[in-house]
Amino acid sequence: MNTQFSCVGCGKCCNDHHVPLTLTEARAWAADGGQVIVLVEAFLGNGLGLPAQQREHAERRSCRVPSGSTEAYVAITFAAYNVGPCRNLDEEQRCRIYERRPLVCRIYPMEINPHIPLNPQAKECPTQSWEQGPQLILGGELVDLELAELIRRSRQADRDDIPTKTAICALLGIRTTALKGDGFTAYLPDMTALARAIDQIQAQPPEASSQSWRFHLSGEDIASQVQAAGAQVVSDTPLDYAFISLRAA
Ligand code: SF4
Ligand code: SF4
């Protein structure tokens, strides 16, 4: 499949998009006065929540943690919390931090997850941006080698950062996850506390995390499966997080 693309600078991808950040970018976002959202999902050691075709990708970007009498694998995303326009978007729809914008901003509209093919219909970019410019994908392959390198770096940061992000969550008391495919738990940590936690963990790299995690599920059927696997399930109303369900209503 061939796809051509040229960004028309409409700024839509800078509105209402939580932009995944590397740990270094999250620290810079905090220093700039921005808010980070922490999104958590996990699968179980017995494979519950793990799509078979995504095993390698999911395992490499997750951290093994205890839950109840079993083990879970948490994947944690730190993202710029963008409700409405990004704080760095100016009136002309230009990025104020263009030279140091996050990796994911440089990669859009390409996907980071190797299992998600680029689907122009699922992207914010208007039709005209797909009807002009150089070939983005030729014969199913990404043409731009610099862009391919940015995607590689983003995936690598995801893998490298996960032990540190898990330790930061432990410091912040973040310990409830969703089951991968069922939803996410979403936290909006105090940014001074998050910055302090990043600095503390980076000054003294973490050992394997011993914090026990709990699962928040979308319904009783899936909760009973997770519980039967030995993991801890919460049934109380969330106080410090929101549960984002991926299950069709
Ligand atoms: S940092 Fe810049 S490129 Fe990234 S979402 Fe914000 S305004 Fe857009
Ligand atoms: S939505 Fe697409 S066309 Fe519009 S600014 Fe973002 S990358 Fe460019």
116-164: per-residue pLDDT in tens?
889 999 999 999 999 999 999 998 889 999 999 999 999 999 999 999 9
Of all ligands present, the nearest one to the C-alpha of 19 is: 1
Alpha carbon 79 to its chain centroid, in Å, reads: 6
Q: Report pTM.
A: 0.95
How far apart are the CA of 189 and the centre of ligand 1, in A?
Answer: 21
pLDDT value at 235 more than 90 = no
Residue 225 identity (one-letter amino acid): Q
Whether the CB-CB separation of 188 and 35 falls below 8 Å is answered with: yes
Of all ligands present, the nearest one to the C-alpha of 29 is: 1
pLDDT at 249: 61
- The dihedral region occupied by 154, where left means phi > 0, alpha psi between -120 and 50, and beta the remainder, is alpha
In the chain, what percentage of residues exceed pLDDT 90? 85
Q: Which residue has the tokens 């969550």?
A: 169
C-beta 14 within 6 A of ligand 1: yes
Q: Of all protein residues, whose CA lies closest to atom 1 belonging to ligand 2? A: 125
How far apart are the CA of 85 and the centre of ligand 2, in A?
Answer: 13
Backbone φ and ψ of 10, nearest 5° = -75, -20
If one counts the domains in the chain, the total is 1
Atom number of ligand 2 nearest to Cα 6: 3
3-state class (DSSP) for residue 58 = helix
Structural domain including 165 reads 3-245
Of all ligands present, the nearest one to the C-alpha of 128 is: 2
- Per-residue model confidence as pLDDT tens digits over 32-75: 999 999 999 999 999 999 988 888 889 899 999 999 999 999 99
